[in-house]
């Protein structure tokens, strides 16, 4: 390792130690945290099962940056590059449409064998897999309703798909020795004000109860449910609202998934974590960046990311929180997007861990808000960058922006030929 990185690290350690922070211990803790990289950033949410189907469900990818993955092998190769540039050991999050098979198989017929190549790859990489049923980009979701559809046949199709997804997830957990988190998000909703808000919610509740009727060992799979305020084409009403899934998750023992882009534009998820985890065993995060709406921009080191990280660290909520990413930007290099968003997420956690939490809590209890504000602000310019550089180097990953050169070389040698 470069001597200047070690020197800066040692200087930073002394500063943090003066506030009782053991930086070596912090880095050991940080290395245990897994972030789940969403496969769908790699190909603009296209998947491999129905290559000709347009993205639907009220989500959108903009941009046409060349080089996106077209096959499962390309996607895995791209993920390997991204993972090699991110410190720590992480997970990969698959959607059902990323099945790797030459069979003509519909969503309700998917089985673990259609994901065998992903499991083999994950074993080779020593990483875990997470999963999602894909309740969009399919003719049976064309009118914007799936699990809450009024038509029995269509609703049953989606129930079958979600049940099949849980079996696939269970196989991931069993095969890989790491619990798979399966996230259920359905786009169902109305563009305009509905007359009946209740009936679709009753149907969604009943469908989910049917989907979850089979017990699965939580060592292999845990389920999460993701709410949303609005989508494109469901601006006035989303069946699976926050209140719906708060109630559903808490009464059914399911993890609640909070996506940073799924609330009112000024509403933040950081302020929800301590409340939800007061009553729920587990939580799933979709770390994202909404720009004016659920735009799924690449995660940057903004105030909300830092606040999410602080909440997780200060409340010791990390052991019960599954951290997933959810953004898709088609206007920049697809691998760089993963690397930027994931490195920022980990770096934000590091910054939060490098704050004098116990000292600040004591000061707050004493009512000394002057010192609280002064310290929090001063810590914003403490040398966390020196610790981050050392962490990257010690994990065998590039320091600072050195990773970009590797992405550019890969772009020239591999992506430009696609």
Ligand X SMILES: C[C@H](O)[C@H](O)[C@@H](O)C(=O)CO
Residues making contact with Mn ion (CB under 5 A): 259, 286, 326
Annotated binding residues for Mn(2+), written as ranges, equal: 262, 294, 296
Contact with ligand X (CB under 6 A): which of 170, 326, 355, 411?
326
Strand, helix or coil at 165? helix
Residue 223 as a binder of ligand X (CB under 6 A): the answer is no
Indicate which of ligand X, Mn ion, none lies near residue 40 (CB less than 5 to 8 Å, by partner kind): ligand X
Query: Which residue out of 78, 259, 311, 329 is catalytically annotated?
Result: 259
Annotated binding residues, written as ranges, equal: 262, 294, 296
CB of 37 to Mn ion, least distance (A): 14
Query: Which residue out of 78, 100, 294, 311 is catalytically annotated?
Result: 294
Which residues in the 82-141 window bind ligand X by CB under 6 A? 132
Expressed in angstroms, the distance from the first to the final Cα of the chain is: 36
* Active-site annotation holds for 286: yes
Cα–Cα distance, 73 to 320 (Å, whole number)? 33
Strand, helix or coil at 229? coil
Q: Which among 180, 264, 274 has a CA at the least distance from the CA of 224?
A: 180
**Which residues are bridge partners to 183 per DSSP?**
224
* Active-site annotation holds for 368: no
Q: How many residues does the chain have?
A: 418
Q: Which among 177, 157, 168 has a CA at the least distance from the CA of 132?
A: 168
Cα–Cα distance, 384 to 354 (Å, whole number)? 7
Indicate which of Mn ion, ligand X, none lies near residue 388 (CB less than 5 to 8 Å, by partner kind): none
Tokens encoding 22: 């053991």
User: In degrees, to the nearest 5, what angle opens at C-alpha 107 toward C-alphas 105 and 110?
Assistant: 65
Structure-token match 């720590």, residue found: 88
Is the CB of 90 or the CB of 310 nearer to ligand X? Answer: 90
Cα–Cα distance, 176 to 219 (Å, whole number)? 11
The H or E element spanning position 242 is helix 242-252
The H or E element spanning position 285 is strand 283-287
Contact with ligand X (CB under 6 A): which of 59, 122, 168, 309?
59
* Active-site annotation holds for 264: no
* Active-site annotation holds for 262: yes
Q: Is 106 within 8 Å of 363 (Cβ atoms)?
A: no
CB of 226 to Mn ion, least distance (A): 6
CB of 113 to ligand X, least distance (A): 23
Q: Is 81 within 8 Å of 410 (Cβ atoms)?
A: yes
Please tell me the count of residues contacting ligand X according to CB under 6 A: 11
Residue 411 as a binder of ligand X (CB under 6 A): the answer is no
Is the CB of 162 or the CB of 387 nearer to Mn ion? Answer: 162
* Active-site annotation holds for 44: no
Is the CB of 229 or the CB of 386 nearer to Mn ion? Answer: 229
Contact with ligand X (CB under 6 A): which of 44, 175, 223, 226?
226
Query: Which residue out of 286, 297, 334, 347 is catalytically annotated?
Result: 286
Residue 286 as a binder of ligand X (CB under 6 A): the answer is yes
User: Where along the sequence are the contacts to ligand X (CB under 6 A)?
Assistant: 40, 45, 59, 132, 185, 226, 228, 259, 286, 294, 326
Task: Kindly list the catalytic residues.
Answer: 185, 226, 228, 259, 262, 286, 294, 296, 326
């Amino acid at each position: 390792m470069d001597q200047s990185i070690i020197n800066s690290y040692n200087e930073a350690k002394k500063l943090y130690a003066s506030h009782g922070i053991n930086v070596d211990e912090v880095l050991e803790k940080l290395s245990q945290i897994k972030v789940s990289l969403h496969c769908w950033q790699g190909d603009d949410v296209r998947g491999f099962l129905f290559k000709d189907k347009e993205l639907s469900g009220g989500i959108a990818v903009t941009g046409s940056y060349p080089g996106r993955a077209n096959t499962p092998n390309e996607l895995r190769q791209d993920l390997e590059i991204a993972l090699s540039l991110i410190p720590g050991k992480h997970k990969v999050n698959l959607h059902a449409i990323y099945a790797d098979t030459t069979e003509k198989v519909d969503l309700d017929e998917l089985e673990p064998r259609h994901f065998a190549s992903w499991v083999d790859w994950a074993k080779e990489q020593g990483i875990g897999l997470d999963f999602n049923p894909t309740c969009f980009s399919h003719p049976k979701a064309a009118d914007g309703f799936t699990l809450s559809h009024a038509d029995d046949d269509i609703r049953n199709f989606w129930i079958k798909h979600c049940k099949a997804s849980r079996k696939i997830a269970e196989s991931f957990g069993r095969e890989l020795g790491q619990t798979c988190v399966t996230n259920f998000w359905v786009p169902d909703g109305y563009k305009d004000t509905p007359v009946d808000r209740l009936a679709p919610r009753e149907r969604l509740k009943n469908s989910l109860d049917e989907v979850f009727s089979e017990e699965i060992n939580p060592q292999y799979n845990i389920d999460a449910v993701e709410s949303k305020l609005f989508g494109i084409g469901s601006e006035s009403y989303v069946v699976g609202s926050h209140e719906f899934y708060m109630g559903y998750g808490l009464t059914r023992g399911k993890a609640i998934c909070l996506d940073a882009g799924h609330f009112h534009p000024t509403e933040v998820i950081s302020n929800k974590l301590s409340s939800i985890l007061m009553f729920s065993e587990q939580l799933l995060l979709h770390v994202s960046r909404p720009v004016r709406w659920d735009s799924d921009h690449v995660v940057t080191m903004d105030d909300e990311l830092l606040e999410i990280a602080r909440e997780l660290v200060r409340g010791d909520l990390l052991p019960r929180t599954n951290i997933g990413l959810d953004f898709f930007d088609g206007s920049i290099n697809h691998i760089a997007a993963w690397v930027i968003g994931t490195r920022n997420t980990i770096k934000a956690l590091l910054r939060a861990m490098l704050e004098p939490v116990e000292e600040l809590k004591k000061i707050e209890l004493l009512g000394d808000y002057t010192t609280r504000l002064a310290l929090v602000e001063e810590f914003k310019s403490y040398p966390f960058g020196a610790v981050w550089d050392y962490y990257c180097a010690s994990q065998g990953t590039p320091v600072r922006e050195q990773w970009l050169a590797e992405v550019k070389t890969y772009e020239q040698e591999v992506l430009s030929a696609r």
